[in-house]
Amino acid sequence: MADFYDDQHEDIEYKLTDEDGSNDLMHEEAEKVKTESPEEPVIKKIDKRKWVVFIAGGALLLLIVLKLMTMFFSSSTQAQKPLKQARVVVDIQKPEQSVLPTVPVQSISPQAPSIADNATTDNAMTDKMTQLQQQNTQLTELLRQQAADNRERSVSLEQKIAGLESTLSDLQNTISDLSDQVKHNKSLQDALLTYQKNSQAAKNSRLRQIKQYFVQAVIPGRAWLHAADGTTMTVAVGDDIPGYGKVASIDAYSGAIMTNSGRQINYGLDS
C-alpha cells in the first residue's frame, strides 16, 4: 500500500511539474529577475514570498488530490492485495527453489470440445435414438401381434366354451327326454302288467264259469260228453262246444277230443 501510494505521489508530482511547468518557469523568471535587476533586493524578496505562497498552496492542493485519490483507489487495492502478497511470497522463496529439484507441474485445464467431437457425439446420440426408436417400434409391433393372437385365442376359447355349453345343454335335454321316456315306459309297463293281471284274472274267472265236459263214450267220428252238473251232449268233428271251441278231431282209441282252442277233453277229466 505504501509503495502504491509513493508511486502515485511521484506520478502526480511529476505530472504537475511537467505539465504545468510552473517550477521551471518560476526558476527562469527568478533567474531573469536576478540578471535583469540585481540591484533591486526589495522586489526579489517580494517575488520569493510569492513563490513560497505559491509552492505552499500547490503542496496543499497536491495533498488534497492525493487524499482523494487514496480514498478512490482504496477499494481496488484491497482486491489486489492477495495477489501482491502471493507475488511477494514467491519472490522471497525464489532463492530456496534453486536448491530443491524442481518438478514440473502440468496444469490440467478443461479443453472445450471441438466441433468434430460435438458432431461425433451428436451422430452417436442420433444413432442411439434411432436404434431405440426401432426397438420401441419392434416391441410395439410384437405386443400388438401378441394382443391380436390373445384376442383370437380368447374368441376361439369363447366359441369352444359356447359349443360345450350347447352340447351340455343338448345332453341335459336328452337325459331329460330319456328320463321322461323311462318314466313313460315304466308307466306303460305297469299298465301292461296290470292289464295282464286283470286279463288273467278275468280269464280265470271265465274258466271257472265254463262247464267242464268229460268223454263218456267214443265211436269213430262221434263222441258222447257229460258235464259235472249231469247234462250230456253228442259232438262230431266241426261241432262247437261252449267254452272249448270247435271239435278238431276225435281219437276213438284213446278217447281224446281236440278243439281248435287247444283244449283237450278226455275220459273223466277236462285238461
Q: Say if CB 213 and CB 244 are below 8 A apart.
A: yes
Q: 236: which strand partners? A: 222
For each successive 10 residues of the chain (271 residues), what is the average pLDDT?
A: 50 46 50 49 65 85 86 62 46 46 50 68 88 93 93 91 92 92 90 87 66 87 86 90 88 88 78 44
Q: Is the pTM of this model over 0.85?
A: no
Sheet with strand 232-236: strands edge to edge: 213-219, 222-227, 232-236
Whole-number average pLDDT of the chain: 74
How far, in whole angstroms, is CA 36 from its chain's centroid? 116
d(CA 5, CA 8): 5
pLDDT at residue 266, as a whole number: 87
What are the φ/ψ torsions at residue 239 (nearest 5 degrees)? -80, 155
Q: Say if CB 217 and CB 224 are below 8 A apart.
A: yes
pLDDT at residue 22, as a whole number: 47
**Which of 195, 186, 269, 253 has its CA nearest to residue 220?**
253
